[in-house]
Chain A
Amino acid sequence: SQQGEEDPQALSIQEGENATMNCSYKTSINNLQWYRQNSGRGLVHLILIRSNEREKHSGRLRVTLDTSKKSSSLLITASRAADTASYFCATVYTGGFKTIFGAGTRLFVKA
């Protein structure tokens, strides 16, 4: 399977703490994307990082990409209860077009 894999599967933290989620993939990529899904809703695109980029920021989100390890991490700083959701990484493989989604990390932020 080309599917990316998120780690951990589930994460529970207190409001104000940082949350880190990891994603590993199998072959070389063109770009990697992170999405959020609130319960029972569609996915929302958070951030895209290209294969020639190492780090990207968007508000309280920080994404890193290590192509030598074929891994990426999503850091949410100063988490809020509203950040409770599932987070998915998605990879677009070099020479490919389709986006392959991982199984997701379920984040629960306790108020």
Chain B
Amino acid sequence: DVKVTQSSRYLVKRTGEKVFLECVQDMDHENMFWYRQDPGLGLRLIYFSYDVKMKEKGDIPEGYSVSREKKERFSLILESASTNQTSMYLCASSLSFFGQSVLTNYGYTFGSGTRLTVV
């Protein structure tokens, strides 16, 4: 069964700590994504990567960075955790294809999520 695995289901960190969220996929997907999900705000894209060592900012990258040293692993880093980063973090991966002459995707496979609380 294909999988996206997030290293922690629940995490509690202190304000100012550096936090690492890890995500690993076993499907050989080119694309990987980090979202955060908050009540009333839906899913918001933080960063994504379409290849090893490549990264692109999403809609809310401030306060975050990412690392993709290997194709299967995409890490989200909170440089100095703050209480407003308390959220559910979702990692996803996808394959790309050219549909109607543009690069698009088949759909995402998500991990189970990491619920991060910053105190």
What residues make up the interface of A, taking CB atoms closer than 8 Å to B?
A: 3, 30-31, 33, 35, 40-45, 48, 50-52, 88, 90, 92, 94-99, 101-104
Contact = CB atoms under 8 A, between A and B. Distances in A.
Nearest to B96: A97
Contacts of A51: 100
A30 B104 contact: yes
A1 B114 CA distance: 26
A90 B33 CA distance: 14
Nearest to A94: B102
5 contacts: A3-B42, A43-B43, A45-B107, A98-B58, A103-B42
Tell me if B's interface is mostly helix, strand, loop or mixed.
strand
A31 B99 contact: yes
B108 A45 contact: yes
A92 B50 CA distance: 16
Contacts, number: 67
B43 A101 contact: yes
The 4 lowest CB-CB distance pairs between A and B, nearest first, are A42-B110, A101-B43, A45-B107, A103-B42
A70 B100 CA distance: 18
Given A40-B113, A40-B115, A101-B42, A95 B102 contact: yes
Contacts of B45: 98
A45 B105 contact: no
Nearest to B100: A30
Interface string B25-55: 0000000000100001111010010100000
Contacts of A30: 99-100, 102, 104
A88 B99 CA distance: 22
Contacts of A33: 107-108
Contacts of A99: 105, 108
